[in-house]
Amino acid sequence: AVELAARFHGWDLAASALALPIIGVESLYASWLRLRAAYLAPLLQFLTDACVVLFLIQSADRLIQCLGSFYITVKRIKPRLKSPALPDAEDPDAGYYPMVLVQIPMCNEKEVYQQSIAAVCNLDWPRSNFLVQVLDDSDDPTTQSLIREEVAKWQQTGARILYRHRVLRDGYKAGNLKSAMACSYVKDYEFVAIFDADFQPNPDFLKRTVPHFKDNDELGLVQARWSFVNKDENLLTRLQNINLCFHFEVEQQVNGVFLNFFGFNGTAGVWRIKALEESGGWMERTTVEDMDIAVRAHLHGWKFIFLNDVECQCELPESYEAYRKQQHRWHSGPMQLFRLCIPDIIKSKVLLCSFSCT
């Protein structure tokens, strides 16, 4: 209101504080100018300079990543199997077919549960060597019944699949995964593959990811790339596709090759169960439990591999509201995680050249 009065009267903003008589509104306006010059202007200038510095740092980071991606493309660098994969065989003993636990955490996923369960049950892997856990946190009785019936249908076909439902949904997804890993039969499995309910892996997913663990005891995680079935649905999905393609083709790939570290994407990845256990397992302390376990595993010395040529299909948020909720989680969680992990990062003997929360 004072600023509007000053403009209405045509006061000289630069000289008003000294020239105006100390009466009425003029006195209030002069005091405001002195306050603004002494306290607000330096603060705003500092914030502006900080934003410029952060922009330059981010721009340099993006430039370096793009150059790294170009180098990887030119040199055709990609993860190589330490041991050549053995020919496919029906007999599990004739090839490298370790015991794999496959988890599908879901919550009220009425639209996609059938596709995700079908895709996982059709994985090309000896049925005796993998078990599917459908981890249903739905609070809708109708949805629970539908998912339970779908699991029963696949059980009748011979698929090794179990339905789990928690009464108390403590910890959300992290709590769901933590509860599932506490099952007594998990000790019989060496690896765990995780797929969110809207992901449909190709049948050869395990055959293209799990062999990287063979004769590579330091490897804790193999992460596949996401691809999007609805990338051309509308302008929002097209923009998301461009942004996430940069994330996978540049950020994940460059960090994986040069730093041997990147944040777990929470799905479409295979973990060595020993790596999860030694890193403290799933924790409910942040909304980004996937990045949390990745940071802790890296600090414990585990290696990661990102496979840019192995894709797992999923869907992008098509509405602004769904997109807004997703981005809020992705951007607020990493800062909370950084605050929690910074003491461990400082004390760790593992050299972290970069800690990117994007």
196 is catalytic: no
Q: Which of 136, 198, 290, 292 is catalytic?
A: 290
Residues of the chain with pLDDT > 90, as a percent, come to 48
What per-residue confidence (pLDDT) applies to 91?
Answer: 58
Residue 159 domain flag: yes
What per-residue confidence (pLDDT) applies to 3?
Answer: 60
What is the domain count for the chain?
Answer: 2
Q: Are residues 212 and 151 in the same domain?
A: yes
Q: Are residues 103 and 233 in the same domain?
A: yes
Q: Are 230 and 315 in contact (CB under 8 A)?
A: yes
What per-residue confidence (pLDDT) applies to 17?
Answer: 46
| Bridge partners, 228 (sequence order) | 314
Alpha helices in the chain (DSSP H): 2-9, 16-19, 24-35, 41-75, 113-121, 141-156, 172-181, 205-209, 235-246, 253-254, 273-278, 289-299, 320-347
Can you give the CATH number for the domain in which 252 is found? 3.90.550.10
Q: Are 250 and 69 in contact (CB under 8 A)?
A: yes
What per-residue confidence (pLDDT) applies to 35?
Answer: 84
Residue 62 domain flag: no
Tell me how far CA of residue 165 lies from CA of 130, 168, 266, 313, in angstroms.
20, 9, 20, 25
Q: Are residues 11 and 114 in the same domain?
A: no
What per-residue confidence (pLDDT) applies to 286?
Answer: 82
Q: Are 314 and 198 in contact (CB under 8 A)?
A: yes
What per-residue confidence (pLDDT) applies to 260?
Answer: 74
217 is catalytic: no
- pLDDT tens per residue across all 358 residues of the chain: 556 666 666 555 444 444 545 455 667 777 777 888 888 889 999 999 999 999 999 899 889 988 998 888 888 888 888 766 555 545 556 678 999 999 999 998 888 999 999 999 999 999 999 999 999 999 999 999 999 999 999 999 999 999 999 988 888 899 999 999 999 999 999 999 999 999 999 999 999 999 999 999 999 999 999 999 888 889 999 998 888 888 777 888 888 888 777 888 899 999 999 999 999 999 988 888 999 999 999 999 999 999 999 999 998 888 888 888 888 777 777 777 888 888 877 777 654 444 444 4
Residue 77 domain flag: no
What per-residue confidence (pLDDT) applies to 88?
Answer: 56
Cα–Cα nearest to 255, from 61, 29, 91, 90:
61
Half-sphere exposure of 254 (CA within 13 A, CB side): 19
Q: Which of 137, 196, 198, 292 is catalytic?
A: 137
Q: Are residues 44 and 186 in the same domain?
A: no
Alpha helices in 76-171 (DSSP H): 113-121, 141-156
What per-residue confidence (pLDDT) applies to 2?
Answer: 57
Q: Are residues 151 and 29 in the same domain?
A: no
Give the neighbor-by-neighbor strand order of the sheet with 130-136: 161-165, 130-136, 100-106, 191-194, 269-272, 219-228, 303-314, 200-201
The residue range of the domain holding 276 is: 96-347
Q: Are residues 181 and 258 in the same domain?
A: yes
Q: Are residues 111 and 18 in the same domain?
A: no
Q: Are residues 230 and 291 in the same domain?
A: yes
